[in-house]
A and B are shown apart, each in its own frame.
Chain A
């Protein structure tokens, strides 16, 4: 029993760690898509910022400078996406794909050019990365059964970006549902013409949404390479941007539901690692690939309307063309 309990807590703990970049990327996607711009490029932005953050952290010896550099790089990609899909009214999906491929190639080229290594950056030592924080009171609560373990393993002992990820979700909710900007954001994603008629700039709102998204994605990428790992490695996002996209749909573009979806998908990933080669009595070995594939299968089923219905913002993927 206690063994099972500890394993469960540790699996949940792993889920929390895996969850973080998904949350940042999904919140980024939420801003973009709520404003009516589809963002397939989350993966590329995560990857680019992971690379830039690890490089800057290594060169300047500070994870904070790495974080800022990562946010900047991701925001630049977001602005390219905006330039193509808002100003030039190009196909949003095509430009998102371009960003993913560009990031994949550039990170490889630049690791070689800057660090003379193909696909990796130097390992970050000690203070060069975000270290875990031990929350106060661990020693006191540790003696209490169950609660002690949960507090020590699950709640305490993460780095600052993990706490930031969970803190940012209510902030996103507040911005989207309780501020003037949020109201306009949702309006521009549903009915840009109405927003335009009210004298607001559709393009301006969409650019701002993408910029916020770029910055959030940047934090997610920096987390991957300067907190979760201690260096950038080739294709280290491993589809995280797309899982975030799936979580965004699965959570129906609502911050709290998206968070729940992110956590569910992260839990599945952690579980897949845990269950590798384990034989469950009466079931046998569950193929890891099946668990890996579950987030995608769930999202497809949801999108198809077999369990509930995911309805995207009405104006998403449509460039706004002012009538003359």
Chain B
């Protein structure tokens, strides 16, 4: 193998693998520190997530959310942008979905209402990203800071809307009324039942197909369209992009819109698929989880699907841990997210010098 081949193997496969392993080992150390046997914990976790129908259903249901936010972060990363605002975009996207699902004519067909509601999520998610994008592109304010601020604005806005506008008269809790039935996405167990197969009930619904569709769409868009090429070019080198006639400002705005729209889809799984109403903090943690998923999945849709599935396992298995062991709660998943972001993101190059020295050393002059 030539040295270049070896280097690309190191960067593309070994490094991410080592990073993920380190995050796992670090989590194991946290387990030991709190007096839990990591091997036993892993067994419980895996059984809870994959061992039976219902568990698997939950795992895939959680994974669906992570696919959306993971794709959102990844698209922005390709343009060299760090969209830390997935949390807020997902939240406001939920409002877009709810407005359609609450007020549309109930006599309409699901075939029209569901795509409309999905578009509502896409649109509102994109809207929540477009201001930070515009400010970054045309006013020079840093996208990371503005998207953080927009997360807080989203949360203030949603509390206001839920408490003062969408809450039904006489209700105490800040949540909307039920969505109109034609906007509900069918549960997978109901779909299976209609074909005569019986599987356990779980919140898994057809949004998972939407997630797969958008994974494919993002892949096609980024690697097989002119715009996708422009985004990746601008992300690699601004100067080169300008030189080849690409307008980086436009790229920022378009990329962030796509990113925000994807994050806005969390609501279709949580709201249209499961809860059928809008409520506070339905988005909680998925926006930040998306950062871990994108970093772990190396910003590629296939990597993201795998990473999202893994985080689905952790979420569902974490619930099982909570139930089985006294000393640990599902917050261990949050610790693990943090460790994944640290080792796959911040400390991305930790092992590079060592790996290069052993596997692809620079040859002494011939």
CB pair A94–B346 under 8 Å, yes or no, is yes
Chief secondary structure at chain B's binding surface? helix
B213 at the A interface (CB under 8 A): no
CB pair A305–B295 under 8 Å, yes or no, is no
A239 to chain B, nearest CB (A): 6
Q: Which residues of B contact A151 (CB under 8 A)?
A: none
CB pair B149–A94 under 8 Å, yes or no, is no
CB pair A93–B342 under 8 Å, yes or no, is no
B258 to chain A, nearest CB (A): 20
CB pair A84–B347 under 8 Å, yes or no, is yes
Question: Which one of B135, B140, B145 has the highest number of Cβ atoms from chain A below 10 Å of its Cβ?
Answer: B145
B176 at the A interface (CB under 8 A): no
A97, B347: Cα distance in complex, Å? 12
Q: Which residue of A lies closest to B31 (CB)?
A: A109
Q: Which of A88, A100, A290 contacts B156 (CB 8 A)?
A: A290
B147-163 CB contact bits vs A (8 Å, 1 = yes)?
Answer: 01110110011011000
CB interface residues, A 279-324, toward B, < 8 Å: 287, 289-290, 292-293, 296-297, 299-300, 303-305, 310, 312
CB pair B335–A95 under 8 Å, yes or no, is no
CB interface residues, B 318-332, toward A, < 8 Å: 327-329, 331-332
CB pair A101–B338 under 8 Å, yes or no, is yes
- Assuming the contacts A40-B144, A289-B159, asked whether A299 and B338 have C-beta atoms less than 8 A apart, the reply is no
CB interface residues, A 187-220, toward B, < 8 Å: none
Q: Which residues of A contact B292 (CB under 8 A)?
A: 101
Question: How many A residues are at the interface, by size bracket?
Answer: 35 or more
Question: Which one of B82, B156, B327 has the highest number of Cβ atoms from chain A below 10 Å of its Cβ?
Answer: B156
A101, B341: Cα distance in complex, Å? 9
- Assuming the contacts A94-B291, A109-B331, A113-B34, asked whether A242 and B156 have C-beta atoms less than 8 A apart, the reply is no
Q: Which residues of B contact A103 (CB under 8 A)?
A: 338
CB interface residues, B 68-116, toward A, < 8 Å: 82, 84
A109, B337: Cα distance in complex, Å? 13
Q: Which residues of B contact A81 (CB under 8 A)?
A: 346
Q: Which residues of B contact A38 (CB under 8 A)?
A: 144
CB interface residues, B 181-205, toward A, < 8 Å: none
B334 at the A interface (CB under 8 A): yes
Q: Which residue of A lies closest to B36 (CB)?
A: A113
CB pair B349–A242 under 8 Å, yes or no, is no
A106 at the B interface (CB under 8 A): yes
Q: Which residues of A contact B329 (CB under 8 A)?
A: 108-109, 112, 118
A242, B144: Cα distance in complex, Å? 12
- Assuming the contacts A305-B139, A305-B141, asked whether A112 and B328 have C-beta atoms less than 8 A apart, the reply is yes
- Assuming the contacts A88-B350, A113-B35, A299-B149, asked whether A289 and B342 have C-beta atoms less than 8 A apart, the reply is no
A103 to chain B, nearest CB (A): 8
B271 at the A interface (CB under 8 A): no
CB pair B152–A242 under 8 Å, yes or no, is yes
B333 at the A interface (CB under 8 A): yes
Q: Which residue of A lies closest to B346 (CB)?
A: A95
A39 to chain B, nearest CB (A): 12
CB interface residues, A 70-97, toward B, < 8 Å: 80-81, 83-85, 88-95, 97
B315 to chain A, nearest CB (A): 13
B46 to chain A, nearest CB (A): 20
B275 at the A interface (CB under 8 A): no
CB pair B295–A94 under 8 Å, yes or no, is yes
B336 at the A interface (CB under 8 A): yes
B345 at the A interface (CB under 8 A): yes
A260 at the B interface (CB under 8 A): no
- Assuming the contacts A88-B349, A90-B347, asked whether A101 and B327 have C-beta atoms less than 8 A apart, the reply is no
- Assuming the contacts A88-B350, A90-B345, A90-B349, asked whether A287 and B164 have C-beta atoms less than 8 A apart, the reply is yes
- Assuming the contacts A101-B341, A104-B338, A296-B153, asked whether A289 and B160 have C-beta atoms less than 8 A apart, the reply is yes
- Assuming the contacts A84-B346, A90-B347, A98-B342, asked whether A249 and B145 have C-beta atoms less than 8 A apart, the reply is yes
A299, B145: Cα distance in complex, Å? 9
Q: Which of A84, A109, A249 contacts B34 (CB 8 A)?
A: A109
Q: Which residues of B contact A245 (CB under 8 A)?
A: 145, 148
A235-278 CB contact bits vs B (8 Å, 1 = yes)?
Answer: 00001001001100100000000000000000000000000000
| 5 new A-B contacts at CB < 8 Å, known A101-B338, A106-B338 | A94-B341, A99-B342, A105-B336, A287-B164, A296-B150
Of all A-B residue pairs in the complex, the 5 with the closest CB atoms, nearest first, are: A95-B346, A102-B338, A105-B334, A105-B335, A303-B141
11 example contacts (A-B, Cβ-Cβ < 8 A) are as follows A80-B342, A98-B338, A101-B341, A102-B335, A103-B338, A104-B331, A109-B30, A112-B327, A118-B329, A297-B153, A304-B135
CB within 8 Å of B: which residues of A? 38, 40, 80-81, 83-85, 88-95, 97-106, 108-110, 112-113, 118, 239, 242, 245-246, 249, 287, 289-290, 292-293, 296-297, 299-300, 303-305, 310, 312
CB within 8 Å of A: which residues of B? 30, 33-35, 82, 84, 135, 139-142, 144-146, 148-150, 152-153, 156-157, 159-160, 164, 288, 291-292, 295, 327-329, 331-339, 341-342, 345-350
